[in-house]
Amino acid sequence: MKCFCFALFLVLFIIKLQRCDGLTTRGQGLKGRVQRDRRNIRPNIILILTDDQDVELGSMQVMNKTRKIMEQGGASFTNAFVSTPMCCPSRSSMLTGKYVHNHNTYTNNENCSSPSWQAQHEPRSFAVYLNNTGYRTAFFGKYLNEYNGSYIPPGWREWVGLIKNSRFYNYTVCRNGYKEKHGSDYAKDYFTDLITNDSINYFRISKRMYPHRPVMMVISHAAPHGPEDSAPQFSEHFPNASQHITPSYNYAPNMDKHWIMQYTGPMRPINMEFTNFLHRKRLQTLLSVDDSVEKVYEMLVETGELDNTYVIYTADHGYHIGQFGLVKGKSMPYDFDIRVPFFVRGPNIEPGSIHPHMILNIDLAPTILDIAGLDTPPDMDGKSILKLLEPEKTENRFRSNRKPKVWRDTILVERGKFLRKKEESSNNNKQQSNNLPKYERVKELCQQAKYQTACEQPGQKWQCIEDTSGKLRIHKCKGSLKVSAKRKRTRSLRSRGYSSKEKECDCGKTDYKPARGERRNQRQLSQTNQRYKPRFVHTRPTRSLSVEFEGQVYDINLEEEAQPAYETRNISKRHYDLEVEEDLEEMLADDNAVGQPSSVKVTHKCYILANDTVHCEREIYQSSRAWRNHKSYIALEIEALQDKIKNLREVRGHLKRRRPDECDCSKSYFNKEKAPRNKERKKSNHRLHPFKEAVQEVDGKVQNFNESRRKKKERKQKKRLKKGDDCSLPGLTCFTHDNDHWQTAPFWNLGSFCACTSANNNTYWCLRTINDTHNILFCEFATGFLEYFDMNNDPYQLTNAVHTVDREVLNELHLQLMELRSCRGHRQCNPRSRGLETGNKDGGSYDPHRGEQLWNGWEG
């Protein structure tokens, strides 16, 4: 029995050894099980973002490490665009997944990180959704241009956000609610290295403390945005860089394009030298970003998280350097400003794959949510690109009848807030009119039903009549309808202006108008009343003031206002005969001293005197601690006042938009029976031509807006004159460059110059279409100007071909553009492909034969 038990034990032991040997030899099967278990953990997400990085000017050619890791190791999108080529609007679209017309951040100043943005749109960023589902979210780098560091945006567990705009040295960041200032030491303060090291440390600590919690990080670099200060080890690279010299370089002036392109002439030699210098500096800053991407990649390899991490690399918009004579900048609707690099690598993404689909910055938020396993909210305008990255099955790859992936072929590019109906008073309107001739407009206008009947519709004012020569003309309706319309207008005027039941204007008593002699007597009486002042003791101004200073009492004469501010007042000693001239400055700086009557109390310890000099308490000048505390107090006061000014501007804008119904109190209402009838008679006889109705429809709100713009221009002009700034021009965005702009080598030493890069009327809405048959850009500007480029024949947008396009095609493009301008949600903002010339419906969201009227030209 014992032998049998021993033999049984020996057999079981041999079988166990064989199993162990099989496990060691079959390591591949074990690895597969570990990978399957690893996939149960949601993937990490890292978004690497650059600022102002172009594609058209060859900035990616110098980033060899990034191209190897992201392009060769992942998927690249050759048609990646941004909806608005400006920093703050584009970044707001990335965070919310919305077009600009839905999150209302139109420029780098207006509504950028404003109270309305913080209340309405910031709580709906992709970080909030991921944070609520267990992701450890972190942000490092530049956030929004107007972010002031006074709060931590919702959704971020770790926050290192740059305050205000991009910088590489001498900046301030908000680190988890505390402001942290940095200087000019490269080892400690260089911004690109700082956020790279912080993000890597945060990822390592998160995986060490919470190994089963996914991480979502945003690393937002300032490069290659200005001031383009590179790391010292890269300051001598690329001495002969010339990738920015494209066929559109210094191609100016462009009289067939919008106003700023017509205004901009060829660059001067100093401008051309500056573009070469600027391009070199930008490439140098990108080398630090290239190293950053490699460090992040090596960290993922070391932590074993590479196969479970999606890494996305892109930019907020493109850039131009000398294109069309513009020295530098962005904000143009052309490809060099709206096209950006876009790379993705991660699980189930085929390395080295290239995708020609059109993707937008508004697709980032839905894509990140999709990676995290969340559905796209209905208010987001973008779509997840994850389904475009899925590899095709082997059995479907070689099938000839396989269905292509349905995706958009048209995007909206917009810059600006609204279209303003301008009065025909500027020369720009003459330059910006490339619409149809008058006879064509009359022909299209007469196709409308309200002009085709012979004055039979109620209230009809105009009708189309064909004359003897066969031309269509618009004539005014006459006859019985004129009387009825006249009576209708009379009733409306009477009910609106003089009905006692409705709310009347409080204009005071305007029934009585005094005679000329009475008005003269009242004027004289008012003038005499102003001179007369009752002789009370308390109303008499103080003539002198007694002040005790260092045990002595002095009388300060307060009436000698005519003396110069720098001269001392006559001070007479009451009880002592000592001289006090040597102590006068100390008395003015003392806390108990009384300043001059014209001095301004700025803080509780400092004054500004009449001669524009500042005097503070003696403690401020003697104690370094008191000096530091008071300086910090002033900085906090400035920040609080800036926030208050921003809130006041927000309220002022709201009040401008919500103006109550105004009434004209300058009118005389003493005769309420006769005067209205005369006005009704004049108004009834005055009927505008349909072409002029749009101009006449300018209401009080637009007039008030124009008046506020005029006052703002006057204030800016006074400010420029006070500063001695001769570079800025009204209506233009200009900059001055000098030898002190860059703080690191290589330095600019060719002197200062001025250049203008954009204009206030550079507001546009564009369609960018790329499919099998079309590659076009169609734009409507706020001035009424139209641009059309066919990139199949003109890849650098050198010639505006709008005059070669059929009017029906322009009508269809206009209607499609108007649909996208008002779209909300991803269902409306992603129309499917359809033919532009045939006009048939290919599963799209628009049918040109649905009975809408043709476009009557640009109407705003």
Write out the catalytic residue numbers.
87
Let me know the angle formed at the C-alpha of 790 by 785 and 791, rounded to the nearest 5 degrees.
Answer: 120
Please tell me what DSSP assigns to residue 635: H
The token pair at 478 is: 């006459």
How far is residue 521's CA from residue 517's CA, in Å, rounded to a whole number? 6
d(CA 162, CA 151): 12
Question: By C-alpha distance, which of 42, 39, 43, 46 is closest to 69?
Answer: 46
CB atoms within 10 A of CB 250: 18
The total of other beta-carbon atoms located within 10 Å of residue 661's CB is 8
Strand extents, DSSP E, 564-678: 571-573, 600-601, 606-608, 614-616
Encoding tokens for residue 528?
A: 């005499």
DSSP letter assigned to residue 122: G
Nearest CA to 249 out of 811, 767, 798, 803 is that of 798
Q: Count other C-beta atoms under 10 Å from residue 854's C-beta.
A: 16
Bridge partners (DSSP) listed for residue 35 = none
- 188 in Cβ contact with 127 (< 8 Å): no
Query: What does the alpha-carbon distance between residue 711 and residue 728 come to, in Å, rounded to a whole number?
Result: 17
Tokens of 753: 């110059």
Is residue 777 within 8 A of residue 334, CB to CB? The reply is yes
Distance, CA of 789 to CA of 798 (rounded, Å): 8
Q: How many CB atoms lie within 10 A of CB 368?
A: 25
Q: Rounded to whole angstroms, what are the CA distances from 515 to 302, 519, 671?
A: 95, 6, 17
Alpha-carbon torsion angle 232, 238, 243, 244, nearest 10: 50
Residue indicated by tokens 């071909």? 801
Q: Are 370 and 384 in contact (CB under 8 A)?
A: yes
Q: Between helices 700-723 and 624-657, what is the axis angle to 10°?
A: 150
Report d(CA 554, CA 534) in Å as an integer: 31
Q: Which CA distances in Å does 589 have to 53, 549, 607, 615?
A: 53, 12, 9, 6
Other C-beta atoms lying within 10 Å of the C-beta of residue 656: 12
Name the strands in the sheet holding 342-345, side by side, starting at the edge strand that comes first in the sequence: 178-181, 172-175, 158-162, 136-142, 215-220, 44-50, 309-315, 342-345, 75-80, 353-359
Distance, in Å, from the CA atom of 475 to the CA atom of 481, rounded to the nearest integer, reads: 14
